[in-house]
A and B are shown apart, each in its own frame.
Chain A
Amino acid sequence: MLIIEDLQVELGGKTILRHIDLEIKEGETHILFGPNGSGKTSLLMTIMGYPQYKVTGGKMIFKGEDITCMPIDRRSQLGIGMSYQRPPTIHGIKTRQMVHICAGKQEVNVDELAQKVNFGHFLERDVNAGFSGGEIKRSELLQLMAQNADLMLFDEPESGVDMENISLVGNTIAKLLEKDIQRSENKPMIQQKRERSKMGLIITHTGYILDYVAADKGQVLYDGVLSCSSNPREILNCIGHEGYEECVRCIIRTN
């Protein structure tokens, strides 16, 4: 479980997140909405542990451990993983090698994993070097699959992905988050649901991801403040019709 309590964050001396309260239970996936510049990526980077995002108040608890001041690598080892929107290119490190890095001490069949996201042709290329938007997403998903994290942060996983690959990306995320429950002989669906432990937090603008991932909750981040927590479909409809400002106002009133 991830618990964020009254979190306040500064970037370059400017407060960018205020009074953030958020709770993601085991098996839950939340969708994070919000206009450009509202602080969505900052929240993800803060959860991941990027030190330039300075926590000036509140705390973050993951799996019962206070991670507020934990370095990035410890958080990763504890089970937090992230799919970046614009990851850096690292020259001389091949994608194949990167997948091994993600797997850590676990054995991993890189070719088999890569096949799942149609990425076999990119394994011998330097990671992210000249990758298109969609290729970056698939590379990030491949790395997350190898990492086997328990809490996965996705920064706009469907942006830049062509129509052909969008279902591939969507279904892969659903699988990672154990949202792809299927009828099975050995296990009733209800039990599968109960045994889910993976947690997700997904930033989306378009909401396409909702067609593939049955998200449990939606959150709207507006001007550094988490302003709403509701059914993600409902939020998406509201934003679509009324815009963020109106959507946030409506929620505040009803709250």
Chain B
Amino acid sequence: MYNQDELRKKAAKASNKAAALGPDIDLTAYDMAPVAHEYLNDEKLHAMPKAEQDRLIMAGLDISENARGGTYFQKDTAVVHCKSHQEGIEIIPIRKALAEHEWIREYYWKLASVDTDKYTAAAELDLHDGYVIRALPGSKSIYPIQACLYMDKDGLQQNVHNLIIAEEGSELHIISGCASSPHLKRGIHVGVSEFFVKKNAKLSFTMIHNWAEDMMVRPRSVAQVEEGGLFLNNYVCMKAVKSLQMYPTTHLVGDNAVARLYSIIVGTPGSEYDIGGRVYLKKPGTRAEIVARTITNGAKIIARGHLIGEVADVKAHLECKGMILNGGIIHAIPELEGHADGVEMSHEAAVGKIAQEEIFYLMSRGMSEDEATSAIVRGFLNVDIPGLPPQLKAEIDRAIEQSDKDVM
């Protein structure tokens, strides 16, 4: 049962609790007072300055809403645009949803624990906003829904809570961008996300992050996939960040549920990433795949992965490949945990460099050494993601293409 007092009490107790992983952050160094921003109607949204629009495009938010099924756009602590263009798909700011819809109580803090650490606690005690995106039973999203959490005010702590619900038999695609404005130097983004993929539903969630050099990022995500459901989670981060730590967890709770998690990270000097994915396979026939491709040019990257097979007849694979191009550290930590006879789980981890042989091969086909190197790096980051709509694949390709200029 939902009990707000109880939640707040638990949160208060955890408000100084350091996270299990990643450097501890002193939250008193940030300001989380609400920042007012005007709500933008369609006309004003389209009149945004070009520079800002370009930055949003990089995070997957297309102001023109061309080939988008709806938009949620939050600037600092305020919702500046929220609209669905598609029947059967609801987009509601979470504070509004909590105030107006009783059903939201069945989802809010149902998968993630409010007392996980100080970040989850902050998201309850000082919730700014966030989105609820829900695909009604049987509805299919033709175009992806775009959601953007934008940080503009320097020194801000942004606390967000999102709920994504794909009802029975629905199909929902979301592209979620997080970005900071060019003049923002430091800040912290705290984002709690809970994903509910119901029976035979399909949810793809593609996240593209564009942060600033002094940004701290602490996402806290938990997903639950029911019988026959598919959860596809893609994370792309090509830009500098001070410290990013996340370890999203997925529970496959119904027969034949599937989860696929892909991360593509390019780490620039001075950045620290502690990322990974964890999947619990709790029912027969469940499948999971975790794929990470990381490149460092001087960053420290810890790439984790954890598969837990609890029953027989589950299949899971973990692939963790890293390339050190110009200094830095890649630490791959793959974990497999089988709890029953008949689980099939495997992992493949590699940390290396670009093979000379491949460069020469491409050079013998006419490419210069630089072109060959860049083609190989792009190829390394180019992961086939089955089930991802082509336009979202194109968004990922664009992010990679753009980063290529920074890497070389």
Contacts and interface: CB of A to CB of B under 8 A. Distances in A.
Interface in A49-93: 49-50, 71-73, 75-77, 81-82, 84, 87-88, 90-93
B366 A90 contact: no
Contact of A76 (B355, B364, B376, B380): B364
Given A87-B361, A101-B375, A92 B381 contact: yes
A110 interface: no
Interface string A113-151: 000000000000010000000000000000100010000
A123 to B, nearest CB: 14
A240 interface: no
Contacts of B375: 90, 93, 101
A72 B378 CA distance: 21
B363 A90 contact: no
A94 to B, nearest CB: 9
B365 interface: yes
A122 B365 CA distance: 19
B67 interface: no
B379 A82 contact: no
A82 B378 CA distance: 24
Q: Which has the most chain B C-beta neighbours within 10 Å: A77, A101, A104, A143?
A: A101
Given A88-B355, A88-B357, A72 B379 contact: no
A206 B367 CA distance: 33
Interface in B115-157: none
Contacts of B372: 73
Contact of B365 (A88, A91, A101): A101
A34 B286 CA distance: 55
B366 A104 contact: yes
A201 interface: no
B235 interface: no
Given A73-B368, A101-B375, A102-B366, A91 B360 contact: no
A73 B359 CA distance: 10
A209 interface: no
Nearest to B380: A92
Contacts of B369: 71, 73
Contact of A77 (B362, B366, B376): B366
Interface string A165-186: 0000000000000000000000
B391 interface: no
A48 interface: yes
Contacts of A225: none
A48 B365 CA distance: 10
Contact of B366 (A84, A93, A126, A147): A147
B358 A73 contact: no
Given A73-B368, A73-B369, A101-B375, A92 B382 contact: yes
Contacts of A73: 363-364, 366-369, 372
Interface residues of A, number: 25
A42 to B, nearest CB: 14
A82 B364 contact: yes
A110 B33 CA distance: 58
B22 to A, nearest CB: 29
B357 A76 contact: no
A43 to B, nearest CB: 15
Nearest to A77: B366
- Of the four ranges (under 10, 10 to 19, 20 to 34, 35 or more), the interface on chain B belongs to 20 to 34
A248 interface: no
Q: Which has the most chain B C-beta neighbours within 10 Å: A49, A72, A101, A143?
A: A72
A91 B376 CA distance: 8
Given A90-B376, A93-B375, A72 B363 contact: yes
Contacts of A101: 362, 365-367, 375
A215 interface: no
A161 to B, nearest CB: 21
Interface string A31-50: 00000000000000000111
A87 B380 CA distance: 17
A228 interface: no
A76 B365 contact: yes
A143 B379 contact: no
A147 B381 contact: no
A88 B361 contact: yes
Contacts of B378: 92
A77 B358 CA distance: 18
Contacts of A84: 361
B360 A102 contact: no
Contacts of A87: 361
B360 A93 contact: no
A168 B135 CA distance: 54
Nearest to B382: A92
Contacts of B365: 76, 81, 98, 101-102, 143, 147
Contacts of B379: 90-93, 126
Contacts of A102: 365-366
Contacts of B355: 88
Given A90-B376, A102-B365, A147-B365, A72 B381 contact: no
Given A73-B367, A92-B379, A104-B366, 11 more contacts: A48-B364, A72-B363, A73-B363, A77-B366, A82-B364, A84-B361, A87-B361, A90-B376, A101-B365, A102-B366, A126-B379
19 contacts: A50-B360, A72-B364, A73-B363, A73-B366, A73-B372, A76-B363, A76-B365, A77-B366, A81-B365, A82-B364, A90-B358, A91-B379, A91-B380, A92-B378, A93-B376, A93-B379, A93-B382, A101-B365, A101-B366
Q: List 6 A-B pairs, minimum CB-CB distance, nearest first.
A: A92-B379, A92-B382, A72-B363, A73-B363, A93-B379, A76-B366
